[in-house]
Structure 1
Amino acid sequence: MSGYRSYELSVFKDKDPKVTVIKKALTQAIRQRAEDGVDWVITGPQLGVEQWASEIVLDLKKTLPTLKIAIMLPFSQFGDQWNDDNKNTLQQLISSVDFSDQVSDQSYHSPQQLKNYQNFMLTHTDEALFVYDPENEGKPEYEFKAAKSYAQEHPYPVNLIDFDQLQETANEYFEQENQRKYEDS
């Protein structure tokens, strides 16, 4: 589970309507996979889609208690350069998930650590789900291309929630909200 960083989507507050739409799309996708037998969601620690996915799984565990979540960090001291709010959010998530560890026990010192992390994520998961649109490149491009390459030699589905799907989700969500407001008035 990966995707855009929050800043790539111009999201700087948790109450941004874009977060609501992305979380709704992720909830639908993760719930469907859980109902199809997925029992672990493994994601990274990045601000944005990865942390939102962790929050969603933690919430879904209330009704799907067999669902588990792991946050894997690429290296030790990941996020130490972040502001205090972001560091605290990450630490709260890490303390709430079912499993968390780092792929490298050293702090960042080489791009090879990121390649090792990518390889770890590919070889320890059965499929990939990205909130990513190849027509709107960003940081997820590297993970997406690595997953597509890996899938050429392994049975490894690579799934996308792209901007068209997010727009559909937004339309459904705001239609439901308008209907709810109409019924409440």
Structure 2
Amino acid sequence: MSVMTVTGYKPMEINIFKHDDERISIIKAAIEKRLIGFIEEGLEWVLISGKMGVELWAGEVVLELRDRYGLKLAVIPPFENQEERWPEPIQQVYQEMTAAADFFRPLYKGGYNGPYQYQASNKWLIDKSDGCLFLLDEEFPGSNRYFYDEAKQAAGDYPIYLITPADLEDMVEEIRMMDPDYWD
């Protein structure tokens, strides 16, 4: 697998309302761990639409891994200026990310015109990738359900890899065990 889409929840869907919430570092650590495994198997590109939340956090992880592993980031938003109604700190992160990405191009010219843009974006990301990594609790899919349903219906053998709440709990424990004070 050389190209992977990464997606997941918007921050408010998982009760994260501050851009410096400590849970973000756990989510990013879980994404990094999974991406490194895929890099070792040949992953070269990560695609995101740049939605706030998991996608922006994944983009930050990819940019951190770029120097060590040569991983590349493509940000393909469904339309131009998708960030214009977001909180200012998140807009800034998005703008910095799109400037630093290896590839950036909105799928549609102009602003939001309707839900079809999100549907087309989901289809495009699935068509252009070899699989996806998804932060998802299948009992509470939130707005993720649209991408997830589309990925499950994708023609052929489209692999879907999940980071589940149990995986995040394991990551918390892993981080805790890396702390030298944990063993005292």
Between the aligned partners of 2:87 and 2:178, the Cα distance in structure 1 is 36
Report the AA paired with residue 49 of structure 2: G
Higher relative contact order (CA 8 A, sep 6+): 2
Identity of aligned residues (%): 28
Q: Structure 1 residues 167 and 110 mapped into 2: Cα distance closer, same or farther (>3 Å)?
A: same
| Corresponding residue SS for 2:78 | strand
Note the 1:25-174 alignment, pairs <5 A: 25-65=30-70, 67-150=71-154, 153-174=155-176
Report the AA paired with residue 60 of structure 1: L
Between the aligned partners of 1:110 and 1:5, the Cα distance in structure 2 is 19
| RMSD, aligned CA | 1.5
TM-score by length of 2: 0.92
Post-superposition offset of 1:127? 0.2
Partner of 1:4: 9
Q: Structure 1 residues 133 and 78 mapped into 2: Cα distance closer, same or farther (>3 Å)?
A: same
Structure 1 stretches of at least 4 aligned residues deviating more than 6 Å after TM superposition: none
Between the aligned partners of 2:134 and 2:20, the Cα distance in structure 1 is 22
Structure 1 spans left out of the alignment, 5+ residues: none
Report Cα offsets for 1:119-177 as digits up to 9, x if no partner.
11111100011001111221111111110111xx2121011001111111111112222
Aligned residues: 179
Report the AA paired with residue 78 of structure 1: Q
Structure 2 spans left out of the alignment, 5+ residues: 1-5
Report Cα offsets for 1:10-49 as digits up to 9, x if no partner.
1123432211111111000111111110100001211111
Report the AA paired with residue 171 of structure 1: E
| Corresponding residue SS for 1:102 | coil
Between the aligned partners of 1:86 and 1:182, the Cα distance in structure 2 is 34
Q: Structure 1 residues 104 and 47 mapped into 2: Cα distance closer, same or farther (>3 Å)?
A: same
Q: Structure 1 residues 14 and 176 mapped into 2: Cα distance closer, same or farther (>3 Å)?
A: farther
